[in-house]
Structure 1
Amino acid sequence: MNGMEAPQADGPCRSLVSVEVHLHPDEARLALHEEALRGLGLPPKELSPKWLYDERGSQLFEDITRLPEYYPTRREREILRAHAHDIARLSGADTLIELGSGTSEKTRLLLGALRHTGQLRRFVPFDVSEHFLRRAALTLARDYPGLSVHAVVGDFERHLEHLPRGGRRLVAFLGGTIGNFKPRARARFFQEVADSLLPGDGLLLGTDLLKDRSRLFAAYNDSAGVTAAFNRNVLHVLNRELGSDFDVNAFTHLAPFDEEQGWIEMRLISQRPQVVRLPAIRSAAHFEAGEVLRTEVSCKFRPPQVEAELFAAGLHLAAWWTDSARDFALSLSFKP
């Protein structure tokens, strides 16, 4: 474990920041190598969405959340503004754990509500970037004097067993990120979350709801082309990390809705036949004209489906909230 102290807070309180590292840059690089070797040889070719989020990709995604077509971030924030105090009261949590925390911007609504109830003792941001987490943890410790901030650097698909114990915990998984998991992987994830919880601990889950297909299409194919730039950025990541020679401009972005699967599918489509060299993994990827590289799926949900999947993992739904347009939902479930 690596630790560091936050700067002296205003007043007599002193906030302590600790950082626990379970994912080092070399491990992430090796994981990318292994996935590229496997995923670029599949029919269809596919990569995990986690590789979209380098520094530039994360900034592009922040830009996406402010686009008029992209509703999930605004809708989820609306729900949190309206119900953060209900969540704090029902959860009874003194420890808030956020998976995929990023800047923890929306989480501040929860932190404020938990602090208002007098319960809040500890915040645990969990994400893959050590540099990003250290900076965010110090900012939060400064802004919430007396709050213990215990950051965990890890991959929530691999390191959930390292969530710190103690107190009554609420795990927040926001933003609709659960939609990036296909059904089998999602069931496994829910089970791993449930196994990491103790009786009385809760899960606060953000899910994007099924809706008019034209609105879904617009949200992932915005008129300004920001999502297209975000999607193509993964090719820059591969060029940088694998020494590959993807011609980024030779791929176009398309994100259609798959009715059979119930998900938006982010695609990069090769505009011509091409062979891409991948020196770091001693391989090459062959693309035909029109061939697809799938970079993300984003599943959309109906409320009964969410409740059933949580129940199958041993989590009992206690509360459900939607925004005024019923675009997005937050659910609170508990380990009995």
Structure 2
Amino acid sequence: MSPFLITRTLPEETTDAALRADVRRGLTRTPKTLPPKWFYDAHGSDLFEKITELPEYYPARAERELLIASSADIAAVTGARTLIELGSGSSEKTRHLLDALADLDTYVPVDVSESALTRAGHALVEQRPGLNVHALIADFTTGLALPGTPGPRLLAFLGSTIGNLLPRERATLLSSIRSLLSPGDALLLGTDLVKDEPSLIAAYDDAAGVTAAFNKNVLSVLNRELGADFDLDAFEHVVRWDAENEWIEMRLRSRTDQTVKIPALGLAVDFAAGEELRTEVSAKFRQQVVRRELALWGLELTHWWSAGQLCGLALAQPSAAPWPTQGR
């Protein structure tokens, strides 16, 4: 194969249709919600990069350090010749794995952003002449077809992104992942761990207000893409810890009674003063919960690396036991 290939499995019009569907569904229900994926236009991505550098935001820093410490072990255990990364972005998270996997033949980054995949792919083949890169423009949450590549394969889902999915969505994704794995393949899953509430709140409500700007950016996306007239100053950033579900929620709270018009959808959305719009859930995990959820979908937790109570890396392989087909 060519050192760098890129395949689009996500039609170009899909993004606009998905945005319209998510906004219509989320803003006409009670309580109102929006999926966190719409944070990430170019400005939102820049803001998130700034968040990862904040002293309060431990997840990215802790996972990077854990990957550096455990990559050699992961490589030894898996012997992977293909590395597949879901939500690869700039591929920065996996560079330590790429360095450690001595027998690696092919890297398959999967992302919805063609520009991010192209930039990262060209850089990687230049830095690693012997590596084949086959990028996929795809939405892995709606199913995924992988190219034929040599095994064993290691599928990595890092950045604690699994926590942004609600339990039913996690079940669907884990079932889909299990259907992609053959005997000898493995899943490497990055998780943020349950810890004290003040540390969790601070990570999503930094003193500099960068996360607040990131949260409000979703309204800017709706203004630009759908002609909406959200006044960003009319909403305030709110963070809650849900102890029962063990997840952080980011919300936007309306400061006044107001009506927002969204011409592209023919919608007028009323907000009462104090009404909150949920924009993100970020679940935190315990090792036993990760083990149980993986097992439900035919994946056996075989290795676990953790940085205290900051974050964990779970390595799971297909189990021999029968597994359910719901969510396929």
**What TM-score, normalized to structure 2?**
0.95
Deviations 1:244-289 (A, max 9, x none): 0000111100111011221100101110111111111111211000
Determine if the alignment matches structure 1 residue 89 to structure 2 residue 72.
no
User: Could you tell me which residue of structure 1 aligns to residue 20 of structure 2?
Assistant: 33
Determine if the alignment matches structure 1 residue 125 to structure 2 residue 109.
yes
Deviations 1:126-146 (A, max 9, x none): 001112211111111111112
User: Could you tell me which residue of structure 1 aligns to residue 234 of structure 2?
Assistant: 250
- Counterparts of 2:148 and 2:317 in 1: how far apart (Å)? 16
User: Could you tell me which residue of structure 2 aligns to residue 10 of structure 1?
Assistant: none
User: Could you tell me which residue of structure 1 aligns to residue 323 of structure 2?
Assistant: none
Amino acid at match of 2:149: G
4+ long deviations beyond 6 Å: none
User: Could you tell me which residue of structure 2 aligns to residue 260 of structure 1?
Assistant: 244
Q: 2:190 aligns with which of 206, 210, 218?
A: 206
Q: How many residues align?
A: 318
User: Could you tell me which residue of structure 2 aligns to residue 312 of structure 1?
Assistant: 296
Deviation, 1:163, is: 1.8
- Counterparts of 1:83 and 1:136 in 2: how far apart (Å)? 23
Seq. identity, %: 54
Contact 1:22–1:159 (CA under 8 A) maintained in structure 2 = no
Q: 1:329 aligns with which of 275, 287, 312?
A: 312
Contact 2:78–2:154 (CA under 8 A) maintained in structure 1 = yes
Contact 2:194–2:309 (CA under 8 A) maintained in structure 1 = no
Deviation, 1:26, is: 1.6
Amino acid at match of 1:241: E
Deviations 1:135-188 (A, max 9, x none): 11111111111210000001111132x122332210100010000011111111
Deviation, 1:200, is: 1.3
- Counterparts of 1:165 and 1:282 in 2: how far apart (Å)? 44
Determine if the alignment matches structure 1 residue 299 to structure 2 residue 258.
no
Determine if the alignment matches structure 1 residue 286 to structure 2 residue 270.
yes
User: Could you tell me which residue of structure 2 aligns to residue 195 of structure 1?
Assistant: 179
User: Could you tell me which residue of structure 2 aligns to residue 146 of structure 1?
Assistant: 130
Contact 2:105–2:132 (CA under 8 A) maintained in structure 1 = yes
Deviation, 1:70, is: 0.5
- Does the residue aligned with 1:255 lie in a helix, a strand or coil? strand
Amino acid at match of 1:91: T
User: Could you tell me which residue of structure 1 aligns to residue 255 of structure 2?
Assistant: 271
Determine if the alignment matches structure 1 residue 103 to structure 2 residue 84.
no
- Does the residue aligned with 1:210 lie in a helix, a strand or coil? coil
**What TM-score, normalized to structure 1?**
0.93
Alignment of 1:2-81 (within 5 A): 16-81=3-68
Deviation, 1:199, is: 1.4
CA-based RMSD: 1.1
Q: 1:165 aligns with which of 148, 153, 159?
A: 148
Contact 1:269–1:292 (CA under 8 A) maintained in structure 2 = yes
Contact 1:169–1:202 (CA under 8 A) maintained in structure 2 = yes
User: Could you tell me which residue of structure 2 aligns to residue 11 of structure 1?
Assistant: none
- Counterparts of 1:82 and 1:133 in 2: how far apart (Å)? 26
Deviation, 1:194, is: 0.5
User: Could you tell me which residue of structure 2 aligns to residue 226 of structure 1?
Assistant: 210
Unaligned runs of 5+ in 1: 6-14
Contact 1:64–1:70 (CA under 8 A) maintained in structure 2 = yes
